[in-house]
Chain A
Amino acid sequence: MAADIRKLIVIVDETRKEMGRVVDPPARRALAIAVIANPYAGRYVEKLDELIDIGEELGGLLGAECVRALGIAPGQAESYGKAAIVGEAGELEHAAAILHPKLGAPLRRAVEKGAALVPSAKKMGGPGTAIDVPLGHKDAAYVRSHFDAIEARVADAPRANEIVVAVAVTASGRPLARVGGLQKNEIKGEDGLR
């Protein structure tokens, strides 16, 4: 079943200066958010297959929207993350059905490779609820410069029968990263960790 998408929001965030210092190149992050109908709102359903399939559809769609908004080649994506906010007529497990079983594979195709786990967050909420989408390097989770988060929020969603699904993709790490750890030029990118 295809997702009933009420609205799609794409955001690009570009930081050119931080603490008086020029960020060169600018730190650039994209966020793509779909507001969808929750097919299981208002009732307990044991098997969540429809939402699992919707997750697969949205992983590809939202990942591609982020890459396009950044104006980069898929292989230039550096970090990613995902999150969902379930309206009050749903349950937290609905977010898990979207995010965990099938969303990752098409998202990884959209950013090329993606050896690392896609970090995630989920919550219940109403219109205007904000969620901080965690970010981590797409090929090596331990890259310290790329641990970050971007706030996702839709003023009029989720309504009770809706779910807000967000995917974030960046073309950089934090603006003035300088707390050491594994550097992106040191990674092997095989096990998803280092």
Chain B
Amino acid sequence: MIDIRRLWTQVETIHHEFGPRPPRPQRRGAIAAVLTNPYAGRYEPNLLPFMEALNPLGVELARALLAALRAQPHEIEGYGKGAIVGSAGELEHGACWHVPGGYGMRQVLGNTKAIVPSAKKVGAPGAKLDVPITHVNASYVRSHFDAVEVYVPGHPHADEIVFVLAMTTGPRVHERVGGLRASEIKGEDGLR
């Protein structure tokens, strides 16, 4: 059921955005897997088998992205996920990624507390998705609200789905709009 056609991995190292350079550059990465959509072209009432089959892929992609970032799990401070469904599929097919993508990544990162924010859409080949990013242990940490734009040139075809995971190693490069600080979080409820 899991048929990977293409993998696209991108890592940005952000040194500055016309302001003072932080001591460590922010690294922001995403991995996109282009899969055959097993439900393309028809209404399938039961999507649970696909969700279940995707579980190992969530773990595999999270590990591959960590490797591309050359980071240890504890160095990842922000994350997000997303899906782009080809035009012969439906938005709900993209929703199949919530559990395997989210829990797979949280497992690989050491059981992080915060919900993994997400975005999904139906799109044509080359469609761009802004994958939202929030802090891995406390969703309200303002410095870590971010997004990374992801697309795979030429995909998804009508019968494909692109599943995405994203991770960052720190806050926005010149974050300075206050709010809850990463140093102040309790990290119990996933929010603060």
Minimal Cβ-Cβ distance residue in A for B36: A17
Check A14 against B68 for contact (C-beta < 8 Å). no
Measured CA separation A190–B3 after assembly (Å)? 42
Check A17 against B4 for contact (C-beta < 8 Å). yes
Choose the segment among B7-15, B38-46, B96-104, B180-188 that binds chain A (4+ C-beta atoms closer than 8 Å): B7-15
| B 5-24 to A, binary, CB cutoff 8 A, 1 in contact else 0 | 11111111111111000000
Please pick, from B10, B15, B18, B128, the residue contacting A11 in the complex, using a CB distance under 8 A: B10
A5 close to B (CB within 8 Å)? yes
B179 close to A (CB within 8 Å)? no
Secondary structure call for the A interface: strand
Secondary structure call for the B interface: strand
Please pick, from A10, A11, A12, A18, the residue contacting B5 in the complex, using a CB distance under 8 A: A18
Which residues of A lie under 8 Å from residue B149 when comparing CB positions? Answer: 155
A15 close to B (CB within 8 Å)? yes
B residues sitting closer than 8 Å to A (CB atoms) are: 3-18, 68, 128, 149, 153
A residues sitting closer than 8 Å to B (CB atoms) are: 5-18, 69, 150-151, 155
Check B10 against A10 for contact (C-beta < 8 Å). yes
Check B10 against A5 for contact (C-beta < 8 Å). no
Check A7 against B14 for contact (C-beta < 8 Å). yes
| Nearest Cβ on chain B to A112's Cβ, whole angstroms | 24
Measured CA separation A18–B36 after assembly (Å)? 11
Measured CA separation A12–B11 after assembly (Å)? 9
7 examples of A-B residue contacts, CB within 8 angstroms = A6-B16, A7-B12, A10-B68, A11-B11, A14-B7, A16-B6, A17-B3
